[in-house]
Amino acid sequence: MKIAGIIAEFNPFHYGHAYLIEKVKEEIKPDLTIVAMSPNFVMRGEPAIFDKMERTKIALNEGIDIVAEIPTVYAVQAADVFAFKGVQILNALGITDLCFGVENNEEEQIKEIAKVMTEKTYKKYLHDFLDEGNSFNSSSKKALLKINTEFEKIIVNPNNLLAIQYLIAIKEINPSIVPHFFLRAKTGYFDSIKKKTTIQSATALRELIVKRKFGKFFSYSVKNLTPHVKNDYLELIKYRILSSSSKELSEILGVTEGFENKLKNLEDIKNWDSLVNSLVSKRDRETKINRILIAVLLNIKKEESKLLTLDYIRILGFDSLGQTHLKTLRNDNLQIISNIKRDLPASLYREIDFTKIYSVPHHDQNLEIKEYSPIIKN
């Protein structure tokens, strides 16, 4: 049985995602397609534009058979942790092939970078640049370019960096999984809206959604969905910072020594971006700070992030093919959970708390209600 896996945020789901699913089914011809998807908060360090159950419903309508949740604690971390957890979940669900998008038609060089990043030379250079006070991302880039300047055209693109981390995770978790590279269609990751194509970047589409300008860029109705943006959570963030001691803040995921004091010394902040800009430094760049702020908002501690073992998989939705496959999976050491009931892992109840926080700015109690049962597509 051939089972294709995709790791995604669908933030939001757009025609580029539909194109990837179509190409996967056309070229891989899987019997089943499973997605490991980010929940209500995402890797960029911000709330998902639409809630996870709405995105699950859309994914199922677009040809996905099972949607599994990447737990928030891992979904809001850097690419290496996000990729590892995604591959770990999909491997446990029995995928044979992992499919992902890339920005360049340079499959062999992407594989070479993945190999280099597991070797001693890269790790030595990485630590050298970190010791100079550079951020992790900057240090990683400098280390790779010191090994081979030709790597630059690959590592400037976020989707390529994720592809590299998927390959590293596959090697560690299950080398028999076959990776498949799909060239991104029409638009680049950072592109603004382009004419004469329905395929647009997620970044540009999020901006349109906030402005309530939808165009013909979605295969589903968007106007009745509630967008969630960073500024919705600014007052909650302020409250968390003001009501926490420096010691408590120092225990938050991503907070390095002294950063808790920068948080406590903040003056009046007008919006999320000004908050981030007031915290930026050579070592702490915008994306890292966004992730820290989300960890503060959700009270995610460093100790939680170290638990990379997989003790359960949360299924957000499935169709009839997916349901049949799920019934075949039996593992005494791993719970596969679709309905939330009593006596479940404590970390899963944390997801309910995260959804409650996600719902606060819009006073939407239905988000918590939807949390307890999966989306089922008949």
Tell me, what amino acid is at 55? R
- Residue burial 238-272, b: 16+ Cβ < 10 Å; e: rest: eebbeebeeeebbebbbbeeebbeebeeeeebeeb
Q: Residue ranges of the domains in the chain?
A: 3-103+158-228+308-377, 109-155, 231-304
Taking the C-alpha atoms of residue 32 and residue 27, their distance in angstroms, rounded to an integer, is 13
β-strands 312-319, 32-37 pairing: unpaired
The sign one gets for the Cα dihedral 222, 22, 155, 42 is positive
Identify the CATH homologous superfamily for domain 3-103+158-228+308-377.
HUPs (3.40.50.620)
Q: Residues 47-60: pLDDT tens digits?
A: 999 999 999 999 99
> What is the value of pTM for the model shown?
0.94
| CA–CA separation, 263 and 250 (whole Å) | 10
Nearest Cα to 357, choosing from 48, 2, 7? 48
> Quick count: other Cβ atoms within 10 Å of Cβ 336?
16
Beta-carbon contacts of 332 under 8 Å, excluding residues fewer than 6 positions away, are none
Express each pLDDT in 147-162 by its tens digit: 999 999 999 888 999 9
Pick from 314, 287, 305: nearest CA to 371: 314
Position 81 confidence tier, pLDDT thresholds 50, 70, 90: very high
For 173-177, 268-272, 367-371, which range has the lowest pLDDT when averaged over its residues? 268-272
Distance CA 325, CA 318 (A): 10
End-to-end distance of the chain based on CA atoms, in angstroms? 22
Per residue in 287-326, pLDDT tens?
999 999 999 999 999 988 766 678 899 999 999 999 999 9
Among 78-92, 210-224, 272-286, 322-336, the range of highest mean pLDDT: 78-92
